């Protein structure tokens, strides 16, 4: 591959300098026929000949030999392949990159930007899909529209609606239209860019998107069929974003290395996925066990765990949500969740059932643990973690019946529970 590109590059450089083969051959001290073979990629060159030709062309030998960037060609080619419906000569990508390196770099750069934006859109669409406020608002708007449509159809199509019923339906229409406009305003306000969402980095988005796309189990990293570097290679963004992505991927690799998935799955099944027993059995910390449990292959007889990790202020450090249990990215979650309660008793695990307003029930295991050594005069630095699952029938816990059952919500703005002592925001969608 490299030899082919080098010959083509020499030819293109020579042509761009208006040199004949004879001229360049003479400058490099080789025969014109030998140069012809080199330019047609029938002879490989290195050493003195390469240096002489580079000198004859007035360019650096290293640039000439290494300048043909295969990743550039691949990106140009990929860009062509993605544009279906156009007869693009993708088989001539190498030639194009050699003849027009500036344009090739431009195309590659534009393609990178398109890829990055696609990734971002996927992550944002996913975020919207999991946004509990948005899901609730959509449901409410559809209910509003259903009422308006049904009521309007009755008024428009039925000829003998009693006058008092017609009046009531008119009132219903007005009230429902008002509710609809309020909901739409709430949705618009909710999606107004905030400083929080603006500060969200591409690195965080990329890793969350990567995990979502792979059902939170990165097979290639688990079985070392790819490296962290290879995964990061195609990700755009500034260096801070890439560093963040690299750190996230490296911690995943570390987890996969310390707790290899196949033996872990067997051991976890044996002990009914009990984090405390597993931590003792594998002589490791409880948070690592929780992370490992939240990143296992999807299988019918394996419980699907979600995970929330917070720092001492309640800020979200890491989250893995379930399709039925959405986690807000920036605090604002239900204050009754045990992940917050356990912060007051470091090292004391808390198990509880959470009952959602929708009727769904989740088993949770939460614990708070120190993240920095204690220092006199300094407050303790703790984090806490909450593991949760709806598949609690697959767990081994003889004391399920004795566990507290907490009536909670996701966050106040989408929680219709009346008279909640932990409420700090109003239920935005006005159903109560």
Q: Enumerate binding residues for other proteins (CB under 8 A).
A: 138-139, 142-143, 145-147, 149-151, 153-154, 157-158, 165, 168-169, 172, 175-176, 357-360, 416, 431
Q: Which is nearer to other proteins, 60 or 175 (CB)?
A: 175
Q: How far is the CB of 175 from other proteins (least distance, A)?
A: 7
Going by the DSSP 8-state scheme, the letter that residue 320 receives in this structure is E
Q: How far is the CB of 190 from other proteins (least distance, A)?
A: 18
Q: How far is the CB of 149 from other proteins (least distance, A)?
A: 4
Q: How far is the CB of 357 from other proteins (least distance, A)?
A: 6
Q: Which is nearer to other proteins, 90 or 143 (CB)?
A: 143
Q: Which is nearer to other proteins, 20 or 432 (CB)?
A: 432
**Cα-based distances in Å from 404 to 37, 70, 92, 388, 412:** 82, 61, 68, 14, 21
Q: How far is the CB of 337 from other proteins (least distance, A)?
A: 19
Q: How far is the CB of 304 from other proteins (least distance, A)?
A: 15
Listed residue (379, 377, 354, 372) closest to 364, CA to CA: 354
Beta-carbon contacts of 45 under 8 Å, excluding residues fewer than 6 positions away, are 6, 38, 53
Q: Which is nearer to other proteins, 19 or 135 (CB)?
A: 135
How far apart (Å, rounded) are the C-alpha atoms in residues 389 and 372? Answer: 29
Q: Which is nearer to other proteins, 165 or 184 (CB)?
A: 165
Beta-carbon contacts of 59 under 8 Å, excluding residues fewer than 6 positions away, are 13
Q: Which is nearer to other proteins, 2 or 165 (CB)?
A: 165
Taking CB atoms within 8 Å and a gap of at least 24, the contacts of 220-227 are: 221/249, 221/252, 221/253, 221/256, 222/256, 222/260, 222/261
Strands 405-407 and 316-320: unpaired
**Cα 159–chain centre separation:** 55
């Amino acid at each position: 591959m490299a030899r082919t590109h080098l010959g083509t590059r020499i030819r293109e450089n020579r042509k761009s300098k208006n040199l004949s083969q004879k001229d360049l051959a003479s400058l490099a001290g080789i025969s014109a026929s030998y140069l012809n073979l080199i330019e047609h990629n029938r002879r490989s060159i290195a050493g003195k000949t390469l240096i002489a030709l580079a000198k004859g062309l007035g360019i650096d030998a290293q640039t000439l030999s290494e300048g043909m960037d295969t990743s550039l060609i691949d990106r140009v080619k990929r860009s062509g392949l993605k544009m279906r419906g156009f007869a693009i000569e993708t088989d001539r990508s190498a030639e194009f990159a050699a003849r027009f390196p500036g344009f090739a770099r431009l195309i590659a750069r534009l393609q990178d930007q398109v890829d990055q934006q696609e990734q971002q859109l996927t992550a944002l669409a996913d975020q919207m899909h999991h946004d509990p406020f948005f899901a609730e608002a959509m449901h409410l708007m559809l209910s509003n529209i259903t009422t308006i449509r049904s009521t309007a159809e009755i008024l428009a199509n039925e000829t003998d609606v009693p006058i008092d019923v017609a009046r009531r339906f008119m009132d219903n229409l007005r009230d429902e239209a008002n509710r609809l406009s309020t909901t739409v305003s709430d949705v618009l306000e909710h999606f107004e860019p905030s400083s929080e969402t603006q500060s969200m980095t591409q690195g965080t988005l990329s890793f969350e998107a990567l995990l979502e796309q792979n059902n939170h189990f990165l097979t290639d990293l688990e079985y070392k069929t790819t490296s962290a570097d290879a995964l990061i290679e195609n990700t755009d963004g500034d260096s801070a974003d890439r560093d963040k992505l690299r750190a996230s991927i490296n911690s995943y690799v570390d987890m996969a290395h310390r707790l290899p998935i196949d033996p872990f799955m067997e051991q976890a099944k044996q002990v009914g996925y009990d984090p405390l027993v597993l931590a003792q059995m594998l002589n490791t910390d409880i948070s690592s066990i929780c992370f490992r449990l939240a990143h296992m292959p999807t299988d019918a007889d394996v419980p699907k765990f979600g995970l929330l990790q917070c720092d001492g202020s309640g800020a979200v450090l890491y989250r893995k949500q379930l399709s039925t249990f959405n986690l807000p990215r920036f605090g604002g979650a239900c204050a009754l969740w045990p992940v917050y309660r356990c912060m007051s008793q470091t090292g004391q695990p808390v198990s509880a059932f959470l009952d959602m307003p929708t009727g769904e029930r989740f088993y949770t295991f939460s614990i708070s643990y120190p993240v920095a050594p204690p220092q006199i005069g300094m407050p303790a630095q703790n984090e806490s973690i909450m593991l949760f699952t709806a598949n609690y029938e697959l767990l081994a816990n003889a004391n399920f019946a004795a566990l507290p059952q907490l009536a909670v919500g996701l966050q106040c703005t989408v929680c219709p529970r009346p008279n909640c002592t932990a409420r700090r925001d109003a239920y935005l969608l006005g159903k109560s």
